[in-house]
Amino acid sequence: MASVSSSKPRNFGAYSYSATPCTRTHQIGALFLVVSTFFVTRILDQYFSESNSVTPATDLHRTSSSGITIDKGIPQWPERGYGSHLSLKIYVYDENEIDGLKELMYGRDGSVKTAACLKGQWGSQVKIHKLLMESKFRTSKKEEADLFFVPAYVKCVRMLGGLNDKEINQTYVKVLSQMPYFRRSGGRDHIFVFPSGAGAHLFRSWSTFINRSFILTPEGDRTDKKDTTAFNTWKDIIIPGNVDDAMTKNGQPDVQPLPLSKRKYLANYLGRAQGKAGRLKLIDLSKQYPDKLECPDLKFSGTEKFGRTTYFEHLRNAKFCLAPRGESSWTLRFYESFFVECVPVLLSDHAELPFQNVIDYAQVSIKWPSSRIGPELLDYLASIPDRDIEGMISRGRKIRCLFVYGPDSAPCSAVKGILWELQRKARHFQQSTETFWLHNGSVVNRELVHFSSWRPPMPLP
C-alpha cells in the first residue's frame, strides 16, 4: 500500500491547495486530540448534568404561561410532577365546612369516636386525614390547591352503627352537591379513602358520582363480589393496610422478632376461617402437619380470641407467615409480617400491592398459587435455606417504613409514598363535561356563569 506521506494533495470542489505532507507523527497527534476532546466533553457533560439535576428547571430556563419551560425555543417537560421533589398543594375540607361531612365522620348523632376508628383495617382512613391536616403540603386556599381531600370514616361509622348503607349513600351525595370545586373538575382532583375490602362500594353510588376521583384503597379487585370493580389502575392508588401502632413505632415495638433458630414453626396462618376455601385448606393442612404449620381458627370473642400482644407473639414464631385472601383479595397479614420479620407468603391471586414503582416484592416476599395450597407448599418452603430467608428479611426491613402511617416529614412513610403517587397521577388542568372556558381563561358553567358565582347545591351527574 502506498505511504501516506507520498500521497498527492486532493482537490475538494473548486478549490485546490498545497498541503504539508501528513506523517505518522501527525496521525498520532490527531488521534490524541480526538481522544482528549472526547473525554473532556464527557466530563463537561457530566458536570452540567449534575448541576442541572439539583437546580429547578424554572431557575435555568424561561417559563411560559402554560407552565412548560422553554430552553432555546424548545418546550421541556416541567420538573414538577416528573422530577426529583414533591410539589403539591392539597386542600383538606373542614368537618364544619359542609353540611353532612360530620355525619360521614362521626355518625348521625355524633356518637362514633375518632379513637375507636383508629383501630383495625379502617384506621388508615383516620390516619391519612390527620396526617394531611399536619402536612406541609396542605393549603388553606382552595384557589391554589392541586388536589382536594374529602375526610370520611364511613367504614368505621358503618361498622359501629353510626350510619346504614342507605344513609351513607344519601349523605355522600348531599356533601358532593355542596362542593363547587368538585363540580368544576367533575371530581377529577378530589381524593377519597376507602380502607376495607369493600373499597368504594361502601358508597353505593360511587360509579355515578366519584368514578373520576382518586380513590385510595388497599383493595384492587372486587369483581368476584360485584359486577364491576371500583378500582381503576389509571387514577386510583393502592395503600398499605393499617398495622397496629405498637408494632410500627420507632425504637422498640411491643413484640420483638425472634432469631430464625428459635422459631417453632416453618409457617403459620393466624386468622379466622370465614368459610373461605384457601383458609379452610390451611386449617386442614395444619392438622396433617402440626409440627410445621400453626393454624388456629381464631374467634372474635371467647377463650380462643387472641389479644394484640399474643397475636404478634404467635406471628413471629414462624419463618413464613401465610396470607390467604378472605372476603376480598387484600390481607392485613401481608403487612404485619414485615414487622415481626417473618417472610410473607401471599396466597391471594388477585391481590394488588402498594408502591410497585419502587418496591420489588419478589425480593421481600413470596406469592404462591392459591390453587396449590397443600403439602407441596410446605415442601417448597422447607427447601429454602435460612441464608435466603435472612436475605429476604433484611431487604424487607429496609422497605417496611413505606407501610407505616407516619408524617410526610419523615424520610420514609406510607403518606409520603401516597403523595408521590398522587403527584405522579395529578393533572394541572381539570376538564369535565360541566366545565367550559373562555378566551381570557375564565371558567364558566353551561349557563356561562363564572365559577366564582357558582352556588350550592349544584346538580351532580
Confidence of residue 43 (pLDDT cuts 50, 70, 90): low
Evaluate whether the domain defined by 256-404 bears CATH number 3.40.50.2000: yes
Residue 129, pLDDT > 80, answer yes
120: left (phi over 0), alpha (psi -120 to 50) or beta: left
pLDDT at 81 over 70: no
Give the integer Cα–Cα distance in Å for 453 and 430: 18
Looking at residue 28, its pLDDT comes to 64
Contact 226, 202 (CB under 8 A): no
pLDDT of 452 higher than 90? yes
User: pLDDT tens digit string along 214-255?
Assistant: 999 998 765 555 667 888 888 999 999 999 999 998 768 899
What per-residue confidence (pLDDT) applies to 16? 40
Closest by alpha carbon to 340, among 231, 259, 411? 259
Q: Judge whether 357 and 335 are in contact, CB under 8 Å.
A: no
Is the confidence at residue 14, as pLDDT, over 50? no
pLDDT at 357 over 90: no
Higher pLDDT, 81 or 401: 401
Gap between the Cα atoms of 189 and 433, Å rounded: 14
Instruction: Supply the pLDDT for residue 84.
Output: 72
Lowest mean pLDDT among 38-52, 125-139, 403-417: 38-52
Considering the chain, what percentage of its residues have pLDDT values greater than 70? Answer: 79
Instruction: Please state, rounded to an integer, the average pLDDT across all residues of the chain.
Output: 84
What integer pLDDT is reported at residue 159 of this predicted model? 93
pLDDT in tens, 393-435: 999 999 999 999 999 998 889 999 999 999 988 888 878 888 9
What is the mean predicted confidence (pLDDT) over 137-151?
97
Ranges for all domains in the chain classified under CATH 3.40.50.2000: 256-404
Cα-to-chain-centroid distance, residue 377: 30
| pLDDT tops 70 at residue 46 | no
Please name which of 151, 207, 159, 144 lies closest in space to residue 175, comparing C-alpha atoms: 151
Q: 3-state DSSP call for residue 213? A: coil
What is the pLDDT confidence band of residue 72, given thresholds at 50, 70 and 90?
Answer: low
Give the lowest-confidence range in 78-82, 114-118, 124-128, 187-191.
78-82
pLDDT at 459: 85
Q: Say what the pLDDT of residue 228 is.
A: 72
Q: Rounded mean pLDDT of 197-224?
A: 87
C-alpha cell at 368: 404462591
Cis peptide before 457 (omega within 30 of 0): yes
Q: Examine the pLDDT at 349 and tell me if it is beyond 70.
A: yes
More confident residue, 88 or 221: 88
Is 211's pLDDT higher than 60?
yes
pLDDT at 68 over 70: no
Task: Flag whether pLDDT at 49 surpasses 50.
Answer: no
Residue 340: name the closest of 392, 415, 397 by CA: 397
The three three-digit cell numbers of residue 203, written as one number: 358508597
Judged by DSSP in three states, 140 sits in: coil
Q: Which residue did the predictor score with more confidence, 415 or 53? A: 415
pLDDT tens by residue, 158-173: 999 999 999 999 999 9
pLDDT score of 29: 65
Would you place residue 197 in the very low, low, confident or very high pLDDT band (cuts 50, 70, 90)?
confident
Kindly state the average pLDDT of the residues 78-89: 71
